């Protein structure tokens, strides 16, 4: 499997990365080498092996349900670009 220039453009748009045609072409070549690597891995016989979601055979530690955090919004908002009435202000996006 290999990616077309359109695939690369689409992935870039989904990730909100602006790409020139030259960049898209260079990236296409790089991504396709990654696909070669995946193809090599997919050739390995994995019959009888359960799929893993994580590289290690360990499980998630759980936290007791308790409120342990205090209000630190003043410190967080001191480094925000724009703040009003306790809200973070961002460029308008309406879906």
Residues in contact with another protein by CB under 8 A are 14, 16, 53-54, 56, 58-69, 71-73, 76-77, 82, 84-95
State the angle between helix axes of 21-42 and 5-14 in degrees (0 to 180), rounded to the nearest 10.
100
Give the nearest distance from C-beta 43 to another protein in angstroms. 21
CA torsion angle for 74, 77, 79, 80 (degrees, to 10)? -170
Q: Are 88 and 77 in contact (CB under 8 A)?
A: yes
Give the nearest distance from C-beta 45 to another protein in angstroms. 22
**Of 22 and 51, CB closest to another protein:** 51
77: its two tokens: 């908002």
Give the nearest distance from C-beta 74 to another protein in angstroms. 9
**Of 49 and 94, CB closest to another protein:** 94
């Amino acid at each position: 499997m290999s990616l077309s220039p359109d695939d690369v453009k689409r992935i870039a748009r989904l990730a909100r990365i602006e790409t020139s045609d030259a960049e898209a072409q260079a990236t296409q070549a790089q991504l396709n080498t990654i696909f070669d690597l995946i193809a090599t891995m997919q050739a390995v016989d994995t019959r009888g092996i359960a799929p893993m979601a994580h590289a290690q055979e360990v499980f998630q530690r759980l936290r007791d349900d308790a409120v342990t955090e205090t209000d630190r919004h003043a410190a967080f908002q001191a480094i925000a670009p724009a703040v009003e009435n306790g809200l973070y202000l961002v460029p308008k996006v309406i879906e």
